[in-house]
């Protein structure tokens, strides 16, 4: 994966399959040249029990396999703050965590910790949901053209860059979901903007998008509608192993009332999920983390 030098992997002793560690090993494969080999930082989030024997064992095994390893056990108020503080302190530029789904009743009463981590983590965040092999699989990069917020425009290049890097790493296929609004939704005033004119405008935008990023017709999936519905549907149809999405990371009351597409999609997808953010949001989050 491009521009990844240090990877933080969240180790949960209650998840013995350690899917996050499996993905981290793949991304930081020791077969890569030393200059391109990311370092792995293993983090256990717990304030009660001592997990140093587990971390020592993992460090020993991974070091023998050629990985550069550091370990840490920490706790700061809650899980998502612990991870974000550790990421900032260690300078890791990718966080990998195995997704822990909350039951529906708990989710209705409390915001899930994984949702909070999606909002607060300034680094790209890989949520591991399955043990499906990545090799030769399909990578879906989801671009929400129809989102009205300008911040999403800056995400497109990053989403496709990470998607391409994953496809290269896994010897897989990159597919792109190009979600655009329906004519009635996209028109400022449908009564004065003919549907044909709107569709012509969409086709021009699509052609420009393909030309800019070099996407072929057979790998581009143009759909109309809400991204939080379309992304899981297409990922399921393609049997994608990883879905790359972007988020502007709403926090506070705005996030609670409006909701974030990334959070809804995370629960609905049956693939691993890589979530990235635009640069301006990253800077804001880093300032917020400094006050934790």
Domain count, the chain: 2
Report d(CA 248, CA 262) in Å as an integer. Answer: 9
The more confidently predicted of residues 259 and 35 is 35
> Which residues 6+ apart lie within 8 Å of 200 measured at CB?
none
Distance of alpha carbon 135 from the chain centroid: 19
Last residue of a domain, one of 76, 98, 120: 98
Residue 198 backbone dihedrals phi, psi, to 5 degrees: -65, -45
Section 182-203 average pLDDT: 59
The more confidently predicted of residues 236 and 265 is 236
127 lies in a domain? no
**Domain holding 260: CATH number?**
3.40.50.12370
pLDDT tens by residue, 138-174: 999 998 765 545 555 667 888 999 999 999 999 999 9
Q: 264: pLDDT confidence band, cut at 50, 70 and 90? A: confident
Report d(CA 187, CA 189) in Å as an integer. Answer: 5
The per-residue pLDDT for 53 is 97
- 21 and 86, same domain (yes or no): yes
């Amino acid at each position: 994966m491009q521009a990844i030098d240090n990877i933080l992997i969240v180790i949960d002793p209650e998840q013995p399959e350690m899917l996050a560690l499996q993905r981290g090993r793949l991304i930081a494969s020791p077969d890569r040249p030393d200059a391109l080999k990311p370092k792995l930082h293993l983090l256990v989030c717990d304030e009660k029990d001592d997990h140093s024997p587990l971390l020592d064992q993992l460090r020993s095994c991974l070091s023998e396999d050629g990985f550069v390893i550091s370990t840490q056990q920490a706790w700061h108020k809650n899980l998502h703050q612990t991870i974000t503080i550790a990421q900032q302190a260690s300078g890791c530029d990718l966080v990998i965590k195995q997704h822990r789904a909350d039951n529906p009743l708990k989710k209705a009463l409390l915001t899930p910790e994984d949702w909070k981590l999606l909002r607060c983590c300034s680094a790209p965040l890989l949520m591991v949901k399955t043990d499906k092999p990545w090799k030769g699989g399909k990578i879906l990069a989801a671009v929400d053209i129809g989102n009205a917020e300008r911040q999403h425009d800056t995400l497109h290049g990053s989403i496709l860059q990470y998607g391409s890097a994953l496809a290269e790493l896994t010897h897989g296929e990159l597919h792109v979901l190009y979600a655009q609004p329906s004519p009635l939704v996209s028109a400022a005033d449908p009564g004065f903007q003919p549907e044909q004119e709107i569709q012509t405008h969409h086709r021009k935008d699509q052609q420009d998008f393909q030309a800019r990023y070099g996407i072929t017709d057979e790998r581009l999936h143009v759909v109309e509608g809400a991204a939080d519905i379309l992304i899981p549907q297409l990922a399921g149809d393609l049997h994608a192993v990883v879905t790359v999405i972007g988020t502007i990371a709403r926090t506070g009351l705005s996030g609670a009332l409006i909701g974030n597409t990334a959070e809804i999609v995370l629960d609905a997808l049956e693939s691993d999920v890589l979530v990235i953010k635009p640069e301006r949001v990253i800077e804001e989050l880093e300032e917020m983390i400094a006050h934790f």
